[in-house]
Each structure stands twice: as C-alpha cells, then as structure tokens.
Amino acid sequence: MHLEEETGAGPGARERFVADGTKRPGGYVGRFAPSPSGPLHAGSLVAAMASWLDARAHRGRWLLRIEDLDEPRNVPGAAEDILATLERFGFVADGPVVWQSRRHGAYRDAFDRLKSAGHVYGCACTRREIALALARAGVRTDRHAEPVYPGTCREGLPPGRSPRAWRARVDARPVRWIDHHDGIERIESLPQSCGDFVLLRADGIWAYQLAVVVDDGAAGVTNVVRGADLASSTARQVRLQEWLDLPGPRYLHVPVVVGGDGEKLSKQNGARALDGRAPIDELARAAAHLGLGVIDAAGIGRFWELATERWAERVRRPAPSPRSAAPDRAP
C-alpha cells in the first residue's frame, strides 16, 4: 500500500471523479457493500471498519452500496437498520447510497456487451444435473465450495432444452491479482477454480459477480477492502473487468471473524446484532480484530482519529513478508 501514490485527493478530486468508470479517477475511492440479509454484526463491522479506515488513511472517498439483488434473502427493514447502525457508529458515506435493486438497466447493458462479445452462453442444467455430471466424472466437491461447472452446455444446449441460466465462458488464460493484505500475487485458472460461472441466474436474478463489477466500475472504485471470504470471487471479477474494459481496483482482504463453530460469523452460528448502546465497545473489538491493538477512546470521534492514525501507520509501512503476515491471516 503506497500512501503517496494514491492520496491525490486534493482540491478538485471530487470534480475529477468520473461516474461512468471509463477513466481512472484522480483519488482513492473505496466502498462498503453489505447485503440486507440481517442486521450488522461483529463480522460485518470489521469489514466496514477496514474499508472505512483505508479510505480515511488515504484521504479518499468512501461509498455505501446495498446489495439487495437477491430478493428471497432480503430481510424487510434490514437495509434501513444497517444504514442507521453505520451512522450511529460514526460512518459517513461520501455520496448517495447505491441500491443494486435500482440498477437492473446497468447490469443488462453489461450482460448484453458480454454476450455480443461471445463471452456468454445459455445453460439448461439444473443443480441436480450438474451434481450428477460431476459425480459421473468422478469429481468431488468440497462442502463449502460451489461445484465447478462441468461444461455440459458449452457447445450448445442438449436437444429440446432451453436456457435456464446464462454463464460466462472462461478460458485457460490465468488471472493474476495481488492481495495487498500480504502482498502476494494470486495466479488463478478459472476453468479449475470455478468453471463457466453464472452471470444471470435461473431465477432471473443478476449474479453477484456481475453486479459487483458493474457497480464498482460505475462508481470509479479504486480500492476494494473486504473480508477474506470474498477473496475467492476476485479472479472472476478481474476477468469480467477485463472483458468490460473497466480499470481493476486494488484488493485487500482482511481476516473474517469466526463463530463458535470455527466458520465465518453469521446468523447461523450465533452472530448477534451490534449493541447500538455501546458503540465504543463494539468498535474497539473490531479494531482489535484488525490488529490495531487496544484503542481507548472516550467518544466515537476520538476513536476514529486514533484508529485512522494506526491504520495510516500500517499503510506507510512496506508490505509485510508472507511469513510475518501469516498469524494475521484468515485460516
């Protein structure tokens, strides 16, 4: 992380901001993008804090996006609750909140461009058919991983079938990206890690990967700081950025908070909503998780000053060697 390179947010930085993502904006633009599937909990606070501190340490802008495309998973009132909680904890967005549910046209345009360029094909497979095809091929899928699509419909639909979902046709060209958490370059082969991935789901919902890339591009996001659970999405997003001629942001994945069962903290393993009556305690816990040590502040304003100073010190240091980064990394 090079502070000098990316600061550039002097007077006029906002004016130079280009909303269509076709030009690199002058300054740092970060974002936090929660899904309204429940209230904020300790895990989502860590992700929000990391993105906010990195933006503040770079004197950049920080944007908020509500990822509410997956309607069946949206909890009524959760988005409003998340926004109110963030405000109570002292987060202030540098722009209007973006709601993915209001951006179908942008996703459709990007999808059509990808389709015209030959990157998209229709897939008739049901989940069960994919599982059967993989089982027949002797491929075993880890419980946590999405199955690697076996390519059944790649060369055309089987006779008498019509498309349910639409997939991106990946190629063997490796995707390279650096995780600035440890400075290590990842080199990934999409045919191996996920296969042809879904862009438009069988239920008619735009896939997360497509929406994120379109939205980050439209907002001119330069730096994506998020939980390590999303690192496995990055290669797909980088490839989509290439296809859509969007500039690639820098990525930094912070360790996720785990629940009692050793898995990422979620409603299912005991995450509770944040205690809005004790914001300082909640903030201090999140900062400690991010390796910022004990921050003893009397008020929220002072907490953010101290936390931002500590984060900025870290930004100024050269990237840690893989060995020294190890204890800090997510399992």
Binders of Zn ion: how many residues, by CB under 5 A? Answer: 4
Establish if 123 lies at the interface with Zn ion (CB under 5 A): yes
Between 86 and 125, name the residue whose CB sits nearer to Zn ion: 125
Between 64 and 125, name the residue whose CB sits nearer to Zn ion: 125
Q: Give the nearest distance from C-beta 128 to Zn ion in angstroms.
A: 12
Q: Give the nearest distance from C-beta 191 to Zn ion in angstroms.
A: 15
Establish if 274 lies at the interface with Zn ion (CB under 5 A): no
Establish if 152 lies at the interface with Zn ion (CB under 5 A): yes
Establish if 82 lies at the interface with Zn ion (CB under 5 A): no
SS3 of residue 63 by DSSP: strand
Radius of gyration of the chain (CA): 20
Q: Give the nearest distance from C-beta 137 to Zn ion in angstroms.
A: 14
DSSP β-bridge partners for residue 122: 166
Q: Give the nearest distance from C-beta 227 to Zn ion in angstroms.
A: 30
Contact 144, 100 (CB under 8 A): no
- Among 286, 313, 309, 224, smallest CA distance to 86 is for 286
Q: What is the DSSP letter of 299?
A: S
CA–CA gap between residue 324 and residue 319 (Å, rounded) = 10
Between 125 and 271, name the residue whose CB sits nearer to Zn ion: 125
Binds Zn ion (CB under 5 A): choice among 53, 125, 274, 307: 125
Q: How many residues does the chain have?
A: 331
SS3 of residue 19 by DSSP: coil
Q: Give the nearest distance from C-beta 150 to Zn ion in angstroms.
A: 8
DSSP secondary structure, 95-136, as one string:
SPPEEGGG-HHHHHHHHHHHHHTT-EEEE---HHHHHHHHHH
Establish if 284 lies at the interface with Zn ion (CB under 5 A): no
Between 6 and 196, name the residue whose CB sits nearer to Zn ion: 196
- Please report, as residue ranges, which positions from 159 to 178 form the binding site for Zn ion (by CB under 5 A): none
Binds Zn ion (CB under 5 A): choice among 33, 93, 110, 153: 153
Query: How many other CB atoms sit within 10 Å of the CB of residue 251?
Result: 20
Summarize as ranges the residues that interact with Zn ion (CB under 5 A): 123, 125, 152-153
